[in-house]
């Protein structure tokens, strides 16, 4: 039984649940929509990006519907608990946020274009919530896999802040952090491509209605 935090607050490493050295489930072999393997190693030439923008059910669908995306995977990232369970993440005692891993072909869709989709698909000013979903596991974050991704994410955040401010919105709370040292833990099989399996299922993803500039980020590398 977990003690759920009434007010969202990130735990310290000492407060976080311990977790387990190996997951208690097996990730499905293939994506139910795209048909490609969920886990790597991935084909040469593909790149990986990690985005957290609220409930991963709707967030994952946003990305798998994008041309050039090879596979997507719902999971947990940014916290301390090893191989967490969904109930543990919901307790607020893991430090993780619900994240979508996006494996994509940069010849078809650029990282800058994925960032534009990320910013426009949620409200990045809400802190530990997204719409009616409240908790540290719903915070906005980008976990970068290269200096180029980090520079692009920072530039796009600055550009989007300018247009959000001009439209009367508040400050972006999105974390931009290196993925290195912040393992991505796949979520349980039921959460993978959830809205494909449950077309009428809940989706709490919704943007601000403010368009994000694209092409402002430096070249990836």
pLDDT one-digit tens code per residue, 117-152: 999 999 999 999 998 999 999 999 999 999 999 999
pTM (two decimals): 0.94
pLDDT one-digit tens code per residue, 94-122: 999 999 999 999 999 999 999 999 999 99
Order of strands across the sheet that contains 175-178 = 175-178, 140-144, 47-53, 97-104, 69-77, 185-186
> Encoding tokens for residue 39?
């886990």
Report the SS3 class of residue 1: coil
- The per-residue pLDDT of the chain, averaged, comes to 94
| Residue from 176, 182, 155 nearest 84 by CA | 182
Q: How far apart are CA 16 and CA 72, in angstroms?
A: 27
- The yes-or-no answer on residue 55 being catalytic is yes
Confidence of residue 7 (pLDDT cuts 50, 70, 90): confident
Cα-Cα end-to-end distance for the chain: 45
| Burial (CB count within 10 angstroms: exposed 0-12, middle 13-18, buried 19+), residue 186 | buried
């Amino acid at each position: 039984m977990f003690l759920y935090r009434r007010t969202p607050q990130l735990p310290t490493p000492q407060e976080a649940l311990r977790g387990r050295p190996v997951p208690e489930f097996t990730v499905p072999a293939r994506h139910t929509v795209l048909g490609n393997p969920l886990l790597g190693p991935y084909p040469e030439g593909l790149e990986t990006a990690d985005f957290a923008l609220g409930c991963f059910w709707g967030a994952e669908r946003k990305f798998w519907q994008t041309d050039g995306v090879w596979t997507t995977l719902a999971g947990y990232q940014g916290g301390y608990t090893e191989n967490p369970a969904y109930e543990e993440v919901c307790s607020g005692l893991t430090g993780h946020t619900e994240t979508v891993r996006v494996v994509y072909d940069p010849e078809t869709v650029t990282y800058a274009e994925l960032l534009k989709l990320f910013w426009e698909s949620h409200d990045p000013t809400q802190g530990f919530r997204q719409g009616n979903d409240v908790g540290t596991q719903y915070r906005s974050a980008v976990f970068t896999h290269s200096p180029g991704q980090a520079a692009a994410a920072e530039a796009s955040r600055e550009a989007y802040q300018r247009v959000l401010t001009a439209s009367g919105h508040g400050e972006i709370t999105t974390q931009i952090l290196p993925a290195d040292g912040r393992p991505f833990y796949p979520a349980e099989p039921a959460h993978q491509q959830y809205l494909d399996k449950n077309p009428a299922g809940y989706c709490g993803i919704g943007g601000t209605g403010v368009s994000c500039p694209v092409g402002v980020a430096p070249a990836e590398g």
